[in-house]
Each structure stands twice: as structure tokens, then as C-alpha cells.
Chains A and B, each alone.
Chain A
Amino acid sequence: MSWTSLIDHAIGHYNYWVCVVLMMLGFYIVIASGNLIKKIIGLNLFQTAVIMFYISMGKIDGGTAPILVDPEKVSGPVVYTNPLPSVLMLTAIVVGVATSALGLALVVRIKEAYGSIEEDEILAADRASDAKEQAQYAASAAQAAKTEAAQQGHA
């Protein structure tokens, strides 16, 4: 591959590369962040980057927005950018906002129930209540076994 073709390749794919980097930034925020709101923001970032990826692939050099113009008003053929990615991504944006609304509602409820929106604190709270329940049930099970043994001995 010669240098010029390499540069052409780089320019032709720069958009996709940036989209990949943005996707991964969003993805990293989702999985590495311990704050529930920030995770949702990360998801938004991730999804917007995917939208950008789709839109990038639809663009045609020298094209125009896919709204038909009166052929009498312009000279020569008109190149329209591909409308299909736009259509798909309109749907994706809607899905994205629906998901984040639901996620945020869950965050509000979690805050009310746990008093925190930090993953670590929530996990700790869950662990504490689990341990308490475990101890309680283990004790009652042991007591039940003891009573049963006593009854059998009695009989």
C-alpha cells in the first residue's frame, strides 16, 4: 500500500474511527463507573456514537439532504444522501430516550429505597441485609430441628 493510498484510507475511515473511540468511551463509562446516573449517561454516549456511525455510512460526497427538490429548479442531476440510515436512527434515538427515562426513574426509586446511588454502597446494604436474614433463618431452622428431636425422644 502506498503512502497516498494509506492516507486516503485514513481520511476515508476517520469518521468510523472516531465513532469507535466514542462508543468505547461511553461503554467504559457504563461498565467502570460506580454511579448509577453516570452509567445511564454513559449508555447515552454509547448509543449516540452508534447513531453517528450509522449516519456516517449514509453520507455521500457532494450529496444533499434526502428531500426531493423540484428538478426544474436545479441544473443537472442531484445526488441525495442515503435516507435509510436516517430513518433507522430516528427510531434508535427514540428508543434511547425511552430507555434512559426508564433507567432514570429506576435510579430515583433506588435512591429512595437505599438512600444512595453508588453501586458499592447499594451492594454493601444488600449484603448486610442478606447476612441478617441468613442468620435469622439458620437460627429458626436449628430451633425447629431441636424441637423435633426432643419430640421424637419424648415419644
Chain B
Amino acid sequence: MLPDLPLHLPPLHLAVPLMAAPVGVLWRRPVLAWGWAAVVSAVTLLMAVTTLVTVLGHGPVSYAVGNWPAPWGIELKLDILSALMLVLINGIGLLTVLYGRASVQSEIQASHQYLYYICYLLALAGLSGMVITGDAFNLFVCLEISSLSSYALIAMGKGRKALTAAYNYLVLGTIGATFYIIGVGMLYMVTGTLNMADIALHMQAAPVNRTEVVAIAFLLVGIGLKLALFPLHKWLPNAYAHAPTAVTTFLASTATKVSLYILIRVFFTVLNGAPLLASHLWAEMLVPFAIAGMFSASLVAIFQTNIKKMLAYSSVAQIGYMALGLGFGTVNGLAAGIIHMINHAMIKGALFMAVGCAVLRIGTSASGAVRVESWQGLGRRMPLTMFAFVLAGLSLIGVPLTTGFVSKWYLMMAAFEKGWWLVAVLIVLSSLLAVVYIWRVVEAAYLRPALPGSDTSRCEAPLSMLLPLYLLVAANIWFGIDTRFTVDLAQAAASALFQPVTGLNGGAQ
């Protein structure tokens, strides 16, 4: 008897990459391992798109694992936002696998490449698992799958600094995860359930309780650490700078986004309608941190000589924008945050991919290849790569006709709607800082002479890397001009999140 697969898609989003990883032990040859990862990513992307279509057509999906109804069993819950996240994660995943073959070949020793792909599949499984689950503790388990595999992926970077970066990420990430389970434990203590919607129902009914307040604070700090929200971002720049470029691309465009997704879940599903949220204090508390992050991280980025590190600091700043969207605490603000989350995944994905192309061809030491000086004269040597970098950079700055402009536009609209004029001005000002640091790279590549002794012959990255790169750049332009898809979806997702939670088992909307 064949199962009705579309009906059972929710658990398969986790189970398929999770089972593909151990099977991957069999394919030791790098080509086979790569092919396997690519096939699995394509399948999961297909599943994710199917789920998104289903959710858009028929409303949120709820799935009782093991036939145990929530709150006794674990419930998987897919609404528009989680389906959107699934498409984002798996889409970026497929692109980085396709892109990563040449990059991984040059940066990771051949005997370890199959382990790299296994770890990638595990990270994919963990991230998908976090997005689909409706259970607060199950989220922690999936978080650990993705975290452990990310630590290993980062440690695979060339050079010893990758090891210390992975170690620091491990320590801070574990503290974050532990804070998260302390928070979940306290919520469980006062509500007696682990199902997010069920927790929300209990909290709606009960008066404000000091244990709940502390629990939410711990959840915030724990997720903030994983999200690298300023000032909890200390692990991120080094981790991104020293990881293999394919890993940086994947993590920068998915891992922090999923952390933001958890934050949204806590604010809008767990705290849904609870007396705690009445003052919107929690969301607004994010605003000062978000703005401080936007400025301080951008300023630090300006003074970086390591391009990967510069982009990593820029990520911290961009996380500030997303958190700011959440901090408005309005439907439009949340929508703006979600829009920027999607757009930033595309922007940073493209930028890091371009960096990877350059690293492949410059080919000095791990840290040498990403120094601004090494990039001098690169405009003539790798015109296509640099052109992509410039386009993605423009999108990061927020020039009209790019996705970056769209997200900043909606953020400013949300600020105006709230009457926060100063915040709107600050958004523009901090975007100017991005001009400075992107310009430094562009200047080096196009206007400065190449370093003595370096190869100046024209040498473009292989097509297998350029194609995914240009696909993302094209997406940046496409969604910058035709904003319907992202904006409509984000607004639908945001307004769905503002619906009160009224019951379990799919009755959330």
C-alpha cells in the first residue's frame, strides 16, 4: 500500500535530508557525494515548493507525528511563514551545493569532502526541522542538529583560525541553546505543555506571572545569541570569515534567518494574546539593540581589511534591520522584517558566492585571498565575478530597482506608520555606511593596480560557480522590480501571525 505522500510531507521535510545523511557515508568519492547532496537538495526544494503551494491554497497544515494528537504528541505546523522559510532554506541550499563543488574541491581535502556533504545535509535537516515544528522542545533538538553540524562545517575552513572560530561559536551557541531550554522549562513549569500554540492558550488565560517574564527573557537572550543580535554577535564575524566560503554562503543566508524565524515564533505564536504582550514592551525592547547593531557593526565593517569579515559584520548590521522590523510590533513592521529576511538571504548569498569565486582564483593563503589588497586589479581579471559583486553590493546598499531598496522602503514605511521619524532617518544614514565599505572593495578591484608578482591574466571562475551566482544576482534585480511575490507573501505571513491563537491542531488561524 503506497502512502499518500503529499499528506505526509511535513515530517519528510526533516526525514529526507536526515536519512540522506547516513546514506551519504556510502558515497566516499567527492563527485558521488556532491551528486547525492544535489539530488537530495533538489528533492527537498521540490517538497518545499509543494508545501508552500498547499499552504497558500488551503491554509496552514498541521501534522500529528505518531498519530498522537497535540499536546500529547509532537505537532508539526506549517503556516505561510514556515513554508516560505522552507523554500528559502532549501532553495539556497540547492544553489550552494551546485555552486560549492569547485569551491569545496579547492578548500577542503579530498578525503573529507564526503563528510562535508553529510554535514551539510544534517544542517539542512536541522534547519528544516526547526521551521516545521510546533513544539518548543523539539525545536531545541533540531537547533542542536543544525548547530553541531555548523560547528563542524566551520571548523573545516583552511587555517587554524577556523578552529578557534568554531570553538567560540560552539561555546556561545551552547550557552544560547541552554538559555533557550531554561526558558522553555520555565514556560513548561507554569503552563504544563510544550506545544507552542498550547502554551499560548495557557498564557492567554492566566494572569502575568513572574516566572513567565523571566522565561521570555531567557528565550530572547538564547535566541539572540544564535541570531547574533547586537551585542550578542561576538561569534559571528570570525565564524563567517574563517569557514569555507561555501559554508559561509549557506550559513549566512539560512542559519541566522531561521533564528529570526524562532524569534518571530516566540513573539507572535507563544506570546500570542498573552497579557505579557499587551504593552508591546517585548518587541519594542529590540529597537535600541537593532539600531545600535545597524550602526556599530557597519562602522566596524568599514575598517575591515578581510572582505569576508567585512561582509560578516555587515550581516550583523543587517540582522539589526530585521530585528527592527520585528520591533515595530505592527503587521507592516513584521512584514518588512520578513521581506528583509528573504532579500538579505539573496543579497548575502550572492556576495559570498562572488567572494568564493575570487578566492578560488586568487589562491594564496586562506586569509590572504580575502584581503582587500589581494583584490586589487580583480576588475580586469575576473570581470564577471566583480560585476556580480557590484550588483549585489548595490542591492545591499539599497539602490532602487534592487531588493535591498524594497526591504528598506517597507521598513521606512513601517517607521512612518508608527510615527518614528528618527528611526526612518537612521535607516537611511546606516545605509550610507554600507556605501563606504562596499566602495572600498570596488575601488580596490577597479581602480587600484594589481599587487606585484600576482597573476594578472584573465581567469574567470568556472561556469558551475558563476551560474548560481548570477541566478541569485538576477533574483536580486527581479524581486527588486517585481515586488509582488515577496511583499505579498510576507504581508500574508505577517497578518497570519497577528491572528489570535484559538485552538490546537491547526485551529491557529
Q: How far is the CA of A23 from the CA of B186 in the complex (A)?
A: 14
Chain B residue numbers with a CB within 8 Å of A140 are 373, 451-453
Task: Determine if B182 is an interface residue (Cβ-Cβ < 8 Å).
Answer: yes
In the complex, the answer to whether A145 meets B137 with C-beta atoms within 8 Å is: no
- Secondary structure at chain B's binding surface: helix, strand, loop or mixed? helix
Task: Please provide the chain B residues from 351 to 370 with a CB less than 8 Å away from any CB of chain A in the complex.
Answer: 367-368
B166 within 8 A of A: yes
Choose among A43, A46, A106 the residue with the greatest number of B CB atoms under 10 Å from its CB: A106
Chain A residues numbered 102-154 whose CB sits less than 8 Å from any CB in chain B: 102-103, 106-107, 109-110, 113-114, 122, 126, 133-134, 137-138, 140-141, 143-145, 147-148
The residues of B that contact A54 with a CB separation of less than 8 Å are 185
Q: Which residue of chain A is the closest to B368 with respect to CB atoms?
A: A133
Chain B residues with a Cβ closer than 8 Å to the other chain, count: 39
Closest to B149 in A: A102
Please count the residue pairs between chain A and chain B whose beta carbons lie under 8 angstroms apart in the complex.
101
Q: Which residues of B contact A141 (CB under 8 A)?
A: 373, 376, 448, 451
What is the distance, in angstroms, from B18's C-beta to the closest C-beta of chain A?
15
A133 contacts B171, CB within 8 Å? no
- Of B156-164, B225-233, B326-334, B480-488, the stretch lying at the interface with chain A is B156-164
B163 in complex: contacting residue of A53, A84, A113, CB < 8 Å:
A113
Main secondary structure of the interface of A (DSSP, over half): helix
Q: How many Å lie between the Cα of A46 and that of B178 in the bound state? A: 8
Which residues from A are CB-within-8-Å of B141?
Answer: 91, 95
A108 to chain B, nearest CB (A): 10
Q: Tell me if A148 and B449 are in contact (CB < 8 A).
A: yes
The answer to whether A145 and B189 touch across the interface, beta carbons within 8 angstroms, is no
Tally of chain A residues near chain B (CB < 8 A) = 41
Q: Cα distance A5–B134 when bound, in Å? A: 39
Q: Which residues of B contact A133 (CB under 8 A)?
A: 367-368, 371
* Best-surrounded residue of B151, B178, B373, B453 (most CB of chain A within 10 A): B178
B-side interface residues toward A, CB under 8 Å? 137, 140-141, 144, 148, 151-152, 155, 160-161, 163-164, 166-167, 170-171, 174-175, 177-178, 181-182, 185, 188-189, 194, 305, 367-368, 371, 373-374, 376, 448-453
7 A–B pairs (Cβ distance < 8 Å), ordered by A? A57-B185, A106-B155, A106-B166, A134-B305, A137-B368, A137-B371, A144-B450
